[in-house]
Amino acid sequence: MHYLKQFGIILAVSFIGEILNFLIDLPIPASIYGIILLFFALEFRMVKLEWVKDAGKFLIAIMPVMFIPAAVGLLNAWDVLRPALVAYVSIMVITTVVVMAASGCATQAVIRRKEKKGGKTNG
């Protein structure tokens, strides 16, 4: 019953995200609206972390399984992908490196700022 309540809260927030996606004509996926809503609900303590923590951990643990249908979809689209495979792989490698570099720079900036203020770091 504990997990059902937590999943219910997450699903309710996701449903509100779906409604916002329907009402707001922007090219933003409904899941992003839901994540932003859940973030603000947690930040402003409208939802307590304990109310969704265990279900969230479970969903993160099974996340790799959720990519299997997408991988199968790529296999079904192999004839379309094959002519531009080098371009797709190049884009994936370049964007992965850019995201890793940007994340590293942002993390270092936060750590440096924290050290300037006299805060303690964990690493």
Cβ proximity of 2 and 54 under 8 Å: yes
pLDDT digits (tens, 9 = 90+) for 81-108: 899 999 999 999 999 999 999 999 999 9
The C-alpha atoms of residue 80 and residue 77 are separated, in whole angstroms, by: 5
pLDDT digits (tens, 9 = 90+) for 44-71: 999 999 999 999 999 999 999 988 888 8
pLDDT over threshold 60, residue 1: yes
**Domain extents in the chain:** 1-66, 67-123
> Which of 85-105 are b and which e, b meaning 16 or more Cβ less than 10 Å from the residue's Cβ?
eeeeeeeeeeeeeeeeeeeee
For the chain, give the mean pLDDT: 91
